[in-house]
Structure 1
Amino acid sequence: MYSVLHLITEKQSEKDINMADKLIRAITDDGKFRAIAIEATDMMKTVATFHDASQLGITILGRALLGSLMVSNAILKGDERLAISIDGQGPAGKVVVEASAQGEVRGYVTNPKVTLPLTPKGQPDVANAVGTDGFLSVTKDFGANEPFTGQVALVTGEIGDDLTYYMAKSEQIPSAVAVSVLVDPDGTIVTAGGFMVSTLPDATDEDIATLEDKLANFPAISTQMLEGFTPSDLLNNLFGEEQVKVLSTTEVNLYPEIAKHDYARMLATLPLTELQEILAEDHGVEIIDRFTGKIINFDENELQAIIASKDANGL
């Protein structure tokens, strides 16, 4: 069967509402810091069913999905969206994520089955799996057919650190991005969450130094989530009770899956001669959705119908 990869549509539809997974935007009462915090454990449990991933592979993808959601909500608005590509030449391959300001996300790791020994601290070795011999690229789509791409060199390959560096260098917004995805060795998602803190103009060097000290001594996000702490709790634990005002809450979820009829429309954009060649040689088409791992098949009759319609319209 002929394989067509990376077919993507812009189609969106109604989705199930899951209030357990949410992203909050907040500001400190003194107006010196803006913060975003997220919990997406249930969403990550769904993602884990899509990809035949190792503990390390799903940890990498989860960090990228959560970090991209927070970055998109920090720098986008309305229907705007972004695509993040992380390629550090490591054994995990490329990490690709799409996210919107409305809380939707999807992504994949080129080699989701990547395995490496645990770090000396007993953690999945994300840094060496991703690598640092490359770049993190962010392409912002503002809906005007003029996407803008910013790129920075990878710093540590840990993803959170690299998004932190991107925010400071490319967006000129000093920030700290922390993402955590706790995965059992069998691939079961235990917790998934994180936060991003950005400085505002009123923050002094002393304020920033104090925050850096707090971050350096902040308990592990996964430990706090296991104790039942919510995104709001994470920020209260960082800045102090009653020191943070929540401005808005957004549900987070995966982009709707691409329907077969949408794939049919995408196939119809291929040249007629190419479709006829596929029909003659392979008698059908097999499409692999890289975001879900699902296979969509078009048999000989279905492909003939696409060709007939295209030919009838003189395309």
Structure 2
Amino acid sequence: MGKEGNVLASGGFIIQLLPNIEEEVIAKVEEALKNISSVTELLRKGYLPEDILNHILGEMGLNILERVDLKYECDCSQERFETAIIALGKEEIKKLIAEGQSVEAVCHFCGKKYLIEESRLKELLRIAEE
């Protein structure tokens, strides 16, 4: 973390075992993982992801099949939250309508807020009753 609370470096990896992999290979990778610093710390020291993977894999070698740029992006939407409200069931939707207020849904991933008006809750109830 930086002085202003911003993230300076963060990293991790996912290792997926392929079918019919030899136990010896698994043991080598597990042992290498036990003996490295945290990925975040290595990135802060200037190591590239390929450097870290080469260290872990050692003589087994590294073959990069594809590179994909990652981005921080949320795929939340009004429709997703409305689907979640329908999943609550008819009785819960009726309770929300009885309160006579709009419902505010907040995405816990990105913080975006969605307002679902009482009139829309009534439409969602009709959908739930189908």
TM-score by length of structure 2 reads 0.62
In the TM superposition, 1:288-307 aligns within 5 A as 288-307=106-125
The answer to whether 1:281 aligns with 2:99 is yes
Change (3 A) 1:243 1:295: same
Q: Which has the higher contact order (CA 8 A, sep 6+)?
A: 1
From 42, 48, 52, the equivalent of 1:234 is 52
CA shift at 1:260, angstroms?
A: 0.7
Q: Who wins on radius of gyration, i.e. which is larger?
A: 2
Cα distance change of structure 1 residues 252 and 267 upon mapping to structure 2, 3 Å threshold: same
Partner of 2:22: 201
Matched, 1:262 2:83: no
2:6 to 181, 188, 205: 188
Partner of 2:8, secondary structure, is: strand
Unmatched 5+ stretches in structure 1: 1-182
Q: Distance in 1 between matches of 2:124 and 2:30?
A: 59
d(CA) in 2 for partners of 1:204 and 1:263? Answer: 44
Deviations 1:263-282 (A, max 9, x none): 224334430x5433322224
RMSD of the TM alignment (CA)? Answer: 4.0
Q: Which has the higher strand share?
A: 1
Give the unaligned 5+ runs of structure 2.
none
Change (3 A) 1:232 1:284: same
Q: What secondary structure is seen at the aligned counterpart in 1 of 2:81?
A: helix
The equivalent of 1:221 in structure 2 is 39
Residue 191 of structure 1: how far off its partner (Å): 1.0
In the alignment of these two chains, the number of paired residues is 126
Q: Identity of counterpart residues, as a percentage? A: 20
